[in-house]
Amino acid sequence: WRPPPAASLQPPDVFATGSWDNEDNRISLWSAGDLGNVGLNGEYHGEPHLLCDIQHNGDVMDMQFLDQERIVVASSTGTVTIFRHHQNNQTLSANLRWEKAHHHVDQDTSCGGAACTGVVCNNPEIVTVGEDGRINLFRADQKDAVRTIDNADSSTLHAVTFLRTTEILTVNSIGQLKIWDLRQQRNEPSQIFSLAGDRVPLHCVDRHPNQQHIVATGGQDGMLSIWDIRQGTMPVSLLNAHEAEMWEVHFHPSNPDHLFTCSEDGSLWHWDASTNVSEKPSFLHQGGRSTTYLSHSTINQSVVSAWLSNDPTKDRMEITNLIPNQTLSVNSLDVLGSCLVYGTDAEAIYVNRQLFA
């Protein structure tokens, strides 16, 4: 979703998509259209409307809005590009490009590019990670990288998130989380966490929007792991989730007791850890919902997060599969306000604008 203007109360309207595995991959911007036709189950029946698109070299591996006009895109060629959306005439143009920001042997060889697997923005800063185990720190107004940690990892880095403005967290293909302090000149992580003994590749990570010590990760085995990076080096909880790889995990940005995950198995789960689950009307408990007993402490919700408490008898977590008749992989999702957008291997994009209806 394009981030709304600071004071806006409108639901998000514009979202961006990137394609992969096509001869001609594209970055596209869509308007979700009006909310005129909402079906009985809250499905939205309007058609998203294509505003503009532009050709992209390589598969789109990851993308994020830098601000309201610019999108940072990670390519399988190793290149990172900032595209600008010109709203006056609805066009997209390449604004700044870092060629082969990720590369295997030598930046100059024709085929040396290594896929850029993840990008995260905190305007004007952009951090990218890749298959080459490299971390780059760019600024949107500078042609050269501000900082590159060349051999940050001996395995593929799959995803990255900001913990705070000077700290990032990466996940890799041998089940490790690493914290990097960008103020330090040394090229070693300040902390390493790992899934005990499993070395299961981790594909995605997200940080709790209000409590920066809480992090969620998902990986090859479909498990959802919740970590408290203040303590220990192991996850606080491991939750059985999907039957196959988890491709994306997102805390809801303004309602972080809600979490969303999607998977190769064709499912997209909404995890609700809010304390008032038990007070919800009973009709919520019918049809295809599994209720897993997890935990809450009611002492002070703002201090003790629903995700960290450890008395499973007190409360429960409700999990809803938002795609009941799943078939093909759900590759990506984003959530903002009451709106969810996701893309699947069926080459289809879905918009749900009634998440909490």
| Residue 129 resides in a domain | no
- Percent over 90 (pLDDT), the chain: 66
Q: What is the reported pLDDT for 314?
A: 46
Domain containing residue 190: CATH number: 2.130.10.10
Residues 269 and 321 sit within 8 Å (Cβ to Cβ) = yes
| Residue 263 resides in a domain | yes
Query: E-strand spans in 151-292?
Result: 157-164, 167-172, 176-181, 191-194, 202-207, 214-219, 224-228, 237-239, 246-251, 258-263, 268-272, 289-292
| Residue 339 resides in a domain | yes
| Residue 67 resides in a domain | no
Q: What is the reported pLDDT for 298?
A: 33
For 300-326, the pLDDT digits (tens) are 334 457 788 755 444 568 899 998 787
Candidate from 34-43, 122-131, 246-255, 274-283 with smallest mean pLDDT: 274-283
User: Residue 133's closest CA among 111, 146, 119, 115?
Assistant: 115
If DSSP codes are grouped into helix, strand and coil, which group holds residue 187?
coil
- Give the domain extent around 341: 180-275+303-356
Mean pLDDT of 57-68: 96
| Residue 85 resides in a domain | no
Residues 323 and 282 sit within 8 Å (Cβ to Cβ) = no
For 243-292, the pLDDT digits (tens) are 999 999 999 999 999 999 999 999 999 999 886 544 443 333 333 334 33
| Residue 189 resides in a domain | yes
Q: Is the dihedral of CA 63, 125, 185, 113 positive or negative?
A: positive
- Residues in contact with 27: Cβ distance below 8 Å, sequence separation at least 6, in sequence order: 16, 17, 18, 53, 54, 56, 60, 63, 71, 73, 83, 92
| Residue 193 resides in a domain | yes
For 172-218, the pLDDT digits (tens) are 999 999 999 999 988 999 999 998 777 899 999 999 999 999 999 99
For 64-89, the pLDDT digits (tens) are 999 999 999 999 999 999 999 999 99
Tally of structural domains, the chain: 1
- Percent over 70 (pLDDT), the chain: 84
- Rounded Cα distance between 14 and 35, Å, is 13
| Residue 296 resides in a domain | no
- Rounded Cα distance between 139 and 120, Å, is 12
Q: What is the reported pLDDT for 197?
A: 73
